[in-house]
Structure 1
Amino acid sequence: MIDQLIQFDKEVFLFLNGLGTPTWDGFWMFITNKYYAIPLYAFLLILILKTNKKKEIIFTLVLVALLITITDQTANLFKKTLFLRSRPCYTEDLMEHMRLVKDSCGGAFGYFSGHASNAMALAVFIGLILRKHFKYIFPLLLIWAVFVGYSRIYIGVHFPGDVLTGMIVGTIYGTMIFKLRQFLIRKFA
């Protein structure tokens, strides 16, 4: 059963990665680069500052730091200790059939995607905070997180299962930290 899932993951990876063309490589490299998302984060911070009280803002900023730390450390635990699953670009039977868009592959292990989990966790957390003020912000942030996840497959550094797991973990953590924020606001604000 596990072998069949791994084989299916490889086949889906080759299909999705194979959809890429040099014309789109720059776009997906832009999406996958976390530093290019800084203007988006700055814009979301401005929206949070405009729609929340001082204590709510403080809770939000502290919880964003906690959220990123938790998702990063969980991804690292899975990658470097629990699963040790090679990235596609280090998987011998895929190397000559795939497109590696990045200059380098990154660390040896890739299960699960930290980019996908961080993007989804932030999208869920911030989307849930802002949705009462901005009708379309939550679905737009989810779409952005899916784009970030797909970019990892497109550039050749993660399997679809890595990305899907990262998105699920990010959704769970984003929701949990949002609920913690609600509790803190009720208790202390």
Structure 2
Amino acid sequence: MIETLQQFDAELFLKVHRGLSNDFFDWLMPLVRNRFFWSPLYLFIVVFCIRQYKKTGYYMIGMILATFAMGDLIASRLIKPAVARLRPCNEPTLVHDIIHRVPCGSGYSFPSSHATNHFAIAIFLICLFYKKWKPILPLGLAWALLVSFAQVYVGVHYPIDTFVGALLGTSIGFFTFFIYQKIKPAQ
């Protein structure tokens, strides 16, 4: 069962990594997965929360940071070392199939920390702002999906790594929003 799942995952990985290969994605996807690429968005969220919500905005930012920290801790420090799955770009059986679009890194693959963190933050923000701004739902999900897709496209994660990261991040986003509702000051 596990071997069949891993084979399916490797085949799907190659369909995305090699099968969708094109010059535009080769340019865009390394940017999309770069943490600095989204810095203007992060800065906007911080400024918006503080200017719009004053004291409560600081709680919002604190919970966004806690959401990120929790996602990163669980994915990178707990699960990845326990599972110890090689990244596809480090997998000896795929060495001739990998297109090196970004440095591979030496860390493990399962689950994707990028997917975990971006889904966690997206879900938290969706829960936070959906009542006032409905477009946050498709935009937040599209953002997290794009980052997750980029991880597979550039060759550093298998699709199942990003899928499980998305599920884990979604759970964390809902959990931290639940905590936020309990601790936020009255408006």
Taking structure 1 as the reference length, the TM-score comes to 0.91
Write the mapping of 1:40-79 to structure 2, written as runs, cut at 5 A: 40-54=41-55, 56-76=56-76, 77-79=78-80
Which structure features the higher share of helix residues? 1
* Percent of residue pairs identical: 32
Deviation at residue 46 of structure 1 after TM alignment = 3.4
Structure 2 residue aligned with 1:27 = 28
The amino acid of 2:116's aligned partner reads: S
CA distance in 1, matches of 2:126, 2:39: 16
CA distance in 1, matches of 2:90, 2:147: 21
The amino acid of 2:149's aligned partner reads: Y
CA distance in 1, matches of 2:3, 2:163: 18
- Between 1:15-24 and 1:44-53, the stretch displaced more is 44-53
CA distance in 1, matches of 2:164, 2:44: 28
Contact 2:49 2:58 (8 Å CA) reproduced: no
CA distance in 2, matches of 1:52, 1:175: 21
CA distance in 2, matches of 1:93, 1:156: 14
Structure 1 131/48 Cα, relative in aligned 2: closer, same or farther at 3 Å?
farther
CA distance in 1, matches of 2:97, 2:161: 19
- Between 1:115-124 and 1:43-52, the stretch displaced more is 43-52
Deviation at residue 20 of structure 1 after TM alignment = 1.6
- Between 1:57-66 and 1:170-179, the stretch displaced more is 57-66
Question: What's the RMSD between the two structures over aligned residues?
Answer: 1.4
Structure 2 residue aligned with 1:125 = 124
Deviation at residue 137 of structure 1 after TM alignment = 1.4
The amino acid of 1:40's aligned partner reads: L
Deviation at residue 50 of structure 1 after TM alignment = 4.5
Structure 2 SS opposite 1:35: coil
Contact 2:127 2:177 (8 Å CA) reproduced: yes
CA distance in 1, matches of 2:157, 2:97: 15
CA distance in 1, matches of 2:107, 2:120: 24
Paired residues, number: 184
Write the mapping of 1:1-189 to structure 2, written as runs, cut at 5 A: 1-18=1-18, 19-54=20-55, 56-76=56-76, 77-80=78-81, 82-102=82-102, 104-185=103-184, 188-189=185-186
Deviation at residue 180 of structure 1 after TM alignment = 0.8
- Between 1:151-160 and 1:125-134, the stretch displaced more is 125-134
Contiguous gaps of at least 5 residues in structure 1: none
CA distance in 1, matches of 2:126, 2:26: 28
CA distance in 2, matches of 1:179, 1:50: 23
The amino acid of 2:37's aligned partner reads: Y
CA distance in 2, matches of 1:51, 1:132: 15
Structure 1 SS opposite 2:137: helix
The amino acid of 1:128's aligned partner reads: C
Residue by residue over 1:59-98, the C-alpha shift from the partner in whole angstroms, topping out at 9 and shown as x without a partner, is 2122122111111111122112x10000001111112113
